[in-house]
Structure 1
Amino acid sequence: MNNTIEAILTFWFGELDEHGYAAEERNKLWFQGGAATDAAIRTQFGAVHKQAQQGELDHWAGQPRGRLALIIVLDQFSRNIFRGSGAAFSGDSKALELCQEGLRLQHDLQLAPSEQVFFYLPLEHSENLADQKRCVELYTKLRDAAPPAYRKRAQSNLDYAVKHQEIIEQFGRFPHRNKALGRTSTEQEQRYLETATTFGQ
């Protein structure tokens, strides 16, 4: 496998266990990353991210793990590299296309459960309700297939997917992105943002 692909996946997942799950401590990297994490990703993978956005790494999508690495670079690393700005979402469209095409090719079925979580995440980040419903469906399958010891973790992923879907059902977009994207919030969105969970970005 391409060394850069392997470097991305190793950085993100570490070593998966015998059931295909990453260590729970990875949640800190994935969902609680701060300035140090952002800087590390910017330093190690900033050039790769630029290549991915310019389409120079599209050939990675020819195989499942390469496609997964591209999705992580575009969907996740964008949020680290450009945290707090509209550019944080600049990879979302391409990541979503990679996810949807990968689903048609059944690339996701050749990945481990923790890898599938991030393969599907562009659907959760989409402001399209059909994508949200598909995400909930896929995370439900992951929850149902999870061994008992991993069921709570899989349920948590599903719960977040449901919350994202509910926001899109209510507003048709994610209000917490409005400021970064230069969008004007409606009065209803402003009231929501006063108490809402923002999921980081």
Structure 2
Amino acid sequence: MIAGPGLRRRRDDGLISDVVGFWKEAGKDGRWFDKDKGFDRRFRERFLDLHMAVATREHDGWMETPEGALALLILTDQFPRNAFRGTGHMYATDPLARHYARQAHAGGHMERVEPDLRLFGDQREAGTLDQIPDDDRTASLGQGDRRVRLRGNARE
């Protein structure tokens, strides 16, 4: 039996909520930028298959909503940094994360994401400190008095 669009949408909404909920909880626990092997293992075990599906563009439709866009960013940027720490694969989906970040900003999604979570769209749009930005939009993201914490370093 083939699942109809309504069933797939409910399934996708559940997956999106799982990813964003897990990441929010990690932030409350102060784990976003910590090196914690136990957390990395739990994150990898829970979302590896979903990361791989996102990396093969199976969930591009999630970009239709702010929470879906955030989930795509988490799975292509933050997930690999934790799940594949210390390996080349931790950067493998960076181009896709930048693509999603551009789309999220163009669609106005990041403005509708909770303020604490906007960091993950902004840093990818600008390029994290371990990446060279791929376009000149970086300058516009750093304007104003806003300070963004990236991987333990302050950036204005």
Identify the residue that residue 136 of structure 1 maps to in structure 2. Answer: 142
Q: Distance in 2 between matches of 1:161 and 1:105?
A: 25
Residue-by-residue CA offset, 1:44-91 (whole Å, 9 max, x unaligned): 000000001010111111111101001011000011111111110111
The change in CA–CA distance for 1:109 and 1:53 in structure 2 (over 3 A counts) is same
Structure 2 residue matching 1:30: 3-state secondary structure: coil
Identify the residue that residue 132 of structure 2 maps to in structure 1. Answer: 127
Shift of 1:161: 2.8
The equivalent position to 2:24 in structure 1, one of 13, 16, 24, is: 13
Identify the residue that residue 155 of structure 2 maps to in structure 1. Answer: 161
Shift of 1:131: 4.4
Aligned-pair Cα RMSD in Å: 2.2
With the length of structure 1 as denominator, give the TM-score of the two structures. Answer: 0.62
User: Runs ≥4 in structure 1, deviation > 3 angstroms?
Assistant: none
Identify the residue that residue 114 of structure 1 maps to in structure 2. Answer: 116
Q: Distance in 2 between matches of 1:3 and 1:109?
A: 22
Structure 2 residue matching 1:100: 3-state secondary structure: helix
Structure 2 residue matching 1:106: 3-state secondary structure: coil
Shift of 1:157: 2.5
Residue-by-residue CA offset, 1:12-60 (whole Å, 9 max, x unaligned): 1139xxxxxx64xx4x310013211110111000000000101011111
Structure (1 or 2) with the greater helix fraction = 1
Unaligned runs of 5+ in 1: 16-21, 144-154, 163-201
Identify the residue that residue 54 of structure 1 maps to in structure 2. Answer: 56
The equivalent position to 2:67 in structure 1, one of 58, 65, 73, is: 65
The one-letter code of the counterpart of 1:130 is D
The structure with the largest alpha-carbon Rg is: 1
Identity of aligned residues (%): 24
Report how many aligned residue pairs link the two structures. 139
Identify the residue that residue 14 of structure 2 maps to in structure 1. Answer: 3
With the length of structure 2 as denominator, give the TM-score of the two structures. Answer: 0.79
